[in-house]
Structure formats: C-alpha cells, structure tokens
Amino acid sequence: MKVFISADIEGTAGITAWDEAKKGNPEYAEFREYMTDELVAACEGAKAAGATEVFVKDAHSTARNLNLSRLPEYVRIMRGWSGHPDMMMFGIDSSFSAALYTGYHNKAGTDTNPLAHTLTGTVSRLLINGEVASEFTINALCAARYGVPSAFLSGDAGMCEDAKAIVAGIGTVATSEGFGPATSSLSPRASVEAIRNGVEAALSGDLSKCLPRLAKDFELIVEYTTPTEAFRGSWYPGMEHMAPRKLRYRSNDFFEIQRAIRFIV
C-alpha cells in the first residue's frame, strides 16, 4: 500500500495565533515540532496498517516546515512549491492507495479555528458548484481526479465535520475547537496518539467509501476581500468578472478549475 500525506499546520493541536505558524517568529519553532509530531504519527499509523511507502507533501506556507531528521526511513518528502496546479497535493498520482491530511483548518469565514482561511488572506469565500469550499475540498477533489480516496484528516473540529460532509467514509481526529481568538485543544501527546490510531483504523477500513464523486461540470466562484485582487484575476482566459470583488470560471474538467485557482488566488 502506498500512502500520500498532505501536511498543514494551522489545524495542529494547540495552535492559536499566527505567530505560532509563521517561520521566523520565536513561537514557530515549538509548533513546527508539533506539526512534525502529528505527521510522524500519521506515518506510523499508515505503516501499522500495511503501508510500504509514504509520500509527504509539506503543504504549509514556505512548504519547508517539517523537521526532516524526525521522519521515518520509509518516507519520501516533497518540499517547496513547484508551481503545479495540484499545489498542496503535488506528487500524488494514481499509484497511491489513499490520501491523508494532517494539521488542516477550516475555510475562510468560519469560526471553528482562529486561523481559518482558504489558500490566502485575499480570499473571502471560494465556492465550487455553489458550496463554500475549504482547502480540503479542493485537495480531496484533486485526489479523486487520480482515483485516490481521502481516508483520514486531522484538524479543527469544524474542519472534521466539513470533511465528513464531503467524504462520507473519512476518518477524522478533532485536535482543537475555536472560540473567537481562543482554542480548546487536545494536548500534543493526546493528539499524536489519536492520529496514529485513527490513521491505522481508517486505512484498515473500506476505502471505497472515501472517494468523492466528481461532477460532470464545475463552476468556480472566488470572492475577494478587495476589488484589486478580482481585477487582477479577471484577465485569466475564460474568467468572468461578475462584480467588483467576484470572479467566476466554468469547466467540465476539475484540473482546469485547479489551474484557474493556481493563477488567480
């Protein structure tokens, strides 16, 4: 079994403020280790379930966050941003048995995580076929393009509930819950244990229930925080400038939706 893991940080147990998630800040070093701990726990859970290969995409900010000395010997890691439209899923292909997601956060505009956002701070809402989408929405549909089921996600409680609405069979571990700018969180040790056990259980289950259906046609709507960003993105081929802060793009190929997101967000 070959497993793909996309690792973010804002849904890691304990993270409450942006200073803890940004490279260069004094607090970042501590929370980088918690991010790594959770990712390693997911790798160990995958190994226990029978994975022979684990491929990790460091998918937060610079994409150079994980402490590499902590990774098991059976892990291969993708660092940095290639510019490919698969973005947080770059490196995935049809050879993988399952995709996992650690440290994930809810979408822009939600209150289940103080750091909730969608890709960048310039996006107020991103909708796919009328539904407000998170980064997980985009990434689970990206995995589905390759026929890869999304088996497990750890992150804030709101993100876990949204993930279950998108992928009925997905296993989740809620690491934290937001209360305005505050969080109630598992301890890092408890989160690591829950993730390790949760991944093993998820990969030992029926993965066919973890593959979301791809629609025949897609409509992407991006609402920005400022009209400046919308004007800039409006020059993408086929893009409709619906309103001062709103763009729309349509395609029957989800890769084209990903490509548009890559260049306008």
pLDDT, one tens digit per residue, over 193-209 is 999 999 999 999 999 99
Question: Is residue 125 a part of any domain in this protein?
Answer: no
Do 70 and 156 fall within a single domain?
Answer: yes
Nearest in space to 195 (alpha carbons), one of 1, 21, 13, 33: 13
- The residue assigned the tokens 């291969």 is 76
Residue-range definition of the domain harbouring residue 171? 2-119+135-210
What is the Cα–Cα distance from 58 to 9, expressed in whole angstroms?
9
Give the global pTM: 0.97
Cβ-count burial 241-263 (b if 16+ within 10 Å, e if not): eeeebbbbbebeebebbbbbbee
Predicted local confidence at residue 249, as pLDDT: 98
Predicted local confidence at residue 82, as pLDDT: 98
What is the Cα–Cα distance from 265 to 135, expressed in whole angstroms?
12
Question: Is residue 128 a part of any domain in this protein?
Answer: no
Do 71 and 174 fall within a single domain?
Answer: yes
Do 172 and 229 fall within a single domain?
Answer: no
Nearest in space to 192 (alpha carbons), one of 5, 21, 39: 39
Encoded tokens for 66: 């994980």
pLDDT, one tens digit per residue, over 91-148 is 999 999 999 999 999 999 999 999 999 999 999 999 999 999 999 999 999 999 999 9
Do 167 and 224 fall within a single domain?
Answer: no
